């Protein structure tokens, strides 16, 4: 079965132009007045986050007597949520995020006439709860950062399918972990923006390997 690129064209086409435009704009704006205000150290922050997640695939086990290759596909889509963070110092931020969205999935199954897509007829909701550590490279208001975290991917609802030897989807909780890179801009003493790319891995119960979700993320927050 043919493989998709590691980073889907949808994520790349949305994230890269936005990231480049925002980075150039905020660098130009911050250069003449680069000030840290009260700084980030010892301050809490609350933020809203919006995400665009690309398509991901995981192999399904082959079952006798068909023994044909099949893939479970996580369809691309949007998600949103909230986060609460604490700045240990100007370089280290610990945060808890909750993001939710639709979990539309299909099974790609090879047949004599080609690949047939068999969607799950009932939709499911996906909620991801994560604890993350963000490492800011600079202590000023404009800084690139690296992020990594671990959490729980929660699927709720039911998903029925038309493949006789593949189980219907039910509520499922799986371990999720991820990492990414981005840029943060503190607009003043309280308001800030964050834009980052993140790769998240988790293993569905009825698949042989892990999903790898690529996402573009934007957060707008308030620090106090």
Q: How far apart are CA 41 and CA 91, in angstroms?
A: 8
Q: How far apart are CA 198 and CA 216, in angstroms?
A: 7
> Could you tell me the end-to-end alpha-carbon distance of the chain, in angstroms, rounded to an integer?
51
- For the chain, what are the domain ranges? 9-223
- Retrieve residue 108's tokens: 């790609």
Q: What does the angle CA 203 – CA 7 – CA 47 come to, to the nearest 5 degrees?
A: 75
pLDDT in tens, 205-217: 666 678 888 999 9
pLDDT higher than 50, residue 5: no
User: What number is the average pLDDT over the span 150-178?
Assistant: 70
pLDDT higher than 50, residue 150: yes
Q: How far apart are CA 97 and CA 83, in angstroms?
A: 4
Q: Specify which residues 212 forms β-bridges with.
A: 201
pLDDT in the model for residue 121: 47
pTM assigned to the model: 0.73
Predicted confidence band of residue 55 (pLDDT cuts 50, 70, 90): confident
Could you please state the CATH topology (level 3) that the domain comprising 9-223 is classified under: Porin (2.40.160)
pLDDT in the model for residue 137: 96
What residues have CB less than 8 Å from 70, skipping those under 6 apart? 1, 59, 60, 62, 107, 108, 109, 110, 163, 166
């Amino acid at each position: 079965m043919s493989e998709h690129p590691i980073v889907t064209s949808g994520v790349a086409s949305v994230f890269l132009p936005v990231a480049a435009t925002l980075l150039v704009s905020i660098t130009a704006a911050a250069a003449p007045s680069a000030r840290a205000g009260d700084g980030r150290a010892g301050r809490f922050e609350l933020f809203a986050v919006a995400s665009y997640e690309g398509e991901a695939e995981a192999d399904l086990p082959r079952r006798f007597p068909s023994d044909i290759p099949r893939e479970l596909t996580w369809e691309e889509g949007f998600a949103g949520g909230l986060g609460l963070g604490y700045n240990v110092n100007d370089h280290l931020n610990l945060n808890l995020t909750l993001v939710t969205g639709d979990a539309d999935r299909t099974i790609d199954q090879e047949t004599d006439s080609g690949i047939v897509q068999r969607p799950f007829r009932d939709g499911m909701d996906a909620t991801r709860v994560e604890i993350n550590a963000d490492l800011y490279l600079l202590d000023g208001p404009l800084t690139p950062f690296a992020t990594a975290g671990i959490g729980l991917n929660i699927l709720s609802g039911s998903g029925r399918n038309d493949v006789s030897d593949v189980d219907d989807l039910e509520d499922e909780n799986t371990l999720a972990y991820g990492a990414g890179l981005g840029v943060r801009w503190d607009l003043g003493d309280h308001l800030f923006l964050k834009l980052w790319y993140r790769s998240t891995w988790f293993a569905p119960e009825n698949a042989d390997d892990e999903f790898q979700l690529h996402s573009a993320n934007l957060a707008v927050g308030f620090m106090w």
